[in-house]
A and B are shown apart, each in its own frame.
Chain A
Amino acid sequence: MSEATVADTRRLNSKPQDLTDAYGPPSNFLEIDVFDPQTIGVGRNRFTTYEVRMKTNLPIFKLKESCVRRRYSDFEWLKNELERDSKIVVPPLPGKALKRQLPFRGDEGIFEESFIEERRSGLEQFINRIAGHPLAQNERCLHMFLQDESIDRNYIPGKVRQ
């Protein structure tokens, strides 16, 4: 007596992949680097800026390559704008380091090299996580942060259409 029929586990038919799709550049190319920290100014009015360089082939971004300078408070501004306007859970920024800004420290405070490196790395993680989020990608504030020369804090918040 023959066994009960064996289940049919053959794959479903699918369209063969186009070779240009298979070997072409992926459509999800998005790379943002935060580097080259520069401390500008003297004495108590010093602050550190970082270069934010972006390369992408996502159609939602107007420029495929951009390079701007931003400081920590600019990142804070972006975080606040997104928390208010977008539906995403915004990742945390590296710390504000208020303790480091108090006087009578033995070291350089917020201009200490190791601290700046820690902060740079945290900012890079932060911006990459946000820029890759589909619900953040159409926010005006993100595009302005990444691709406009300077941030206009009096801008009109809104969405970017493709």
Chain B
Amino acid sequence: MSFFSFGQTAEIDIVLNDAETRKKVEHKTEDGKKDKYFLFYDGETVSGKVNVTLKNPGKRLEHQGIKIEFIGQIELYFDRGNHHEFVSLVKDLARPGEMAQSQTFDFEFTHVEKPYESYTGQNVKLRYFLRAIISRRLNDVCKELDIVVHTLSTYPELNSSIKMEVGIEDCLHIEFEYNKSKYHLKDVIVGKIYFLLVRIKIKHMEIDIIKRETTGTGPNVYHENDTIAKYEIMDGAPVRGESIPIRLFLAGYEMTPTMRDINKKFSVRYYLNLVLIDEEERRYFKQQEITLWRKGDIVRKSMSHQAAIASQRFEGSASSEKALSQAKEEDD
């Protein structure tokens, strides 16, 4: 902001090269609103143009250098002053000097490492953004463009079921089972509760999904629990030998992948909480951690390419060669 109208000011605009084709996703902002941002994955190149527009035509813009940064940082809300940057790349766009007219600068950050997923939580935020800066003596001109990064995983090799017998001596014994320990964000939790002994008067049973965000280290660890879902699985009193099925579709809930000890600053973990409520509103519960992961939906396209390659390997025929080139065209 300049109070003197005889200075020169500039406006910066950052535009990505693939703005037309790149997918945008919704991401929650700190105040709870949802906005759309360009989606990037680990290793992808971030390239584009920085448009510097001079506000007062005819006047020159003196500056101490123009640069663009790509930053990945973790911001703890209780420690706002300290941003922990885990990715910090810079490209100089212009040496100190004068700009006589509006200009456009190209930039490219090649194969940028984006090790963690973007996350906006209750006490911590992890974000990636481009920041273009025109350095000046009194005040810099600055523009930021936030992007969202998703981390993808593939089907885990080991995904054992969770099966346990729990209870209160001589009062209540149940055996619960969940079909997996690692679920992707659009997965279904299939399970069952088997009653071995029921000497209390149960009114109903529900399963809750709890998200626990942990920030801070050592003596300053803080857990923020949030019940994402409450899903009733039984209404009424069960007896011995009864088996209650569980089928909980995760796609309906807003969740992130499990994030463990990100840059040693925070964690986001998910728990299934099985709750039994008796006629006097007493609650009996058993909590169990599950791992959530994000499945890529670009798999289909590359699978067709891979499937075509596989068929060529076995058949080596002209038709599969055609399928291969067709798949290649689809991908491009």
A17 to B243, CA, bound (A): 8
A131 — nearest CB in chain B belongs to which residue?
A: B280
**Cβ of B199: which chain A residues have Cβ within 8 Å of it?**
27-28, 58
Question: Is B146 located at the chain interface by the 8 A CB criterion?
Answer: no
Our pick among B179, B188, B200, B237 for the contact of A12 (Cβ within 8 Å) is: B179
A25 CB to closest chain B CB, in angstroms?
9
**Cβ of B188: which chain A residues have Cβ within 8 Å of it?**
7-9
A22 to B238, CA, bound (A): 9
A8 to B245, CA, bound (A): 14
The interface-forming segment of B38-46, B165-173, B310-318 is B165-173
Question: Is A152 located at the chain interface by the 8 A CB criterion?
Answer: no
Q: A1-B304, A27-B239 are in contact. Are A14 and B201 (CB under 8 A)?
A: no
**Cβ of B194: which chain A residues have Cβ within 8 Å of it?**
14-15
Chain A residues 1 to 60 lying within 8 A of chain B, measured CB to CB, are 1, 4, 7-12, 14-15, 17-18, 21-22, 24, 26-28, 30, 58-60
What 1/0 mask marks residues of chain A from 106 to 132 whose CB sits below 8 Å from any chain B CB?
Answer: 000000000000000000000011001
Chain B residues 201 to 235 lying within 8 A of chain A, measured CB to CB, are 201
What 1/0 mask marks residues of chain B from 162 to 185 whose CB sits below 8 Å from any chain A CB?
Answer: 000000101110000101000000
Question: Is B300 located at the chain interface by the 8 A CB criterion?
Answer: yes
A132 — nearest CB in chain B belongs to which residue?
A: B280
Question: Is B187 located at the chain interface by the 8 A CB criterion?
Answer: yes
A17 touches B242 (CB 8 A): yes
Question: Is B278 located at the chain interface by the 8 A CB criterion?
Answer: yes
Chain B residues 55 to 106 lying within 8 A of chain A, measured CB to CB, are none
B240 — nearest CB in chain A belongs to which residue?
A: A21
Our pick among A4, A17, A22, A134 for the contact of B171 (Cβ within 8 Å) is: A134
Q: A9-B188, A12-B190 are in contact. Are A4 and B300 (CB under 8 A)?
A: yes
Our pick among A27, A132, A133, A137 for the contact of B240 (Cβ within 8 Å) is: A27
Among A1, A17, A58, A134: residue with most chain B CB under 10 A = A134
B280 touches A9 (CB 8 A): no
**Which 7 A-B pairs give the minimum distances between C-beta atoms?**
A14-B243, A17-B241, A21-B241, A134-B171, A21-B240, A7-B188, A11-B245
A residues bordering B, Cβ < 8 Å?
A: 1, 4, 7-12, 14-15, 17-18, 21-22, 24, 26-28, 30, 58-60, 128-129, 132-134, 137, 162
B residues bordering A, Cβ < 8 Å?
A: 168, 170-172, 177, 179, 187-188, 190-192, 194, 197-201, 237, 239-243, 245, 247, 278-280, 282, 299-300, 304
24 CB contacts below 8 A, A to B, read A1-B300, A7-B187, A8-B188, A9-B190, A9-B247, A12-B177, A12-B190, A12-B191, A12-B245, A14-B194, A14-B243, A15-B243, A21-B240, A24-B239, A30-B201, A59-B170, A60-B170, A129-B280, A132-B201, A132-B280, A133-B280, A134-B168, A134-B171, A162-B170
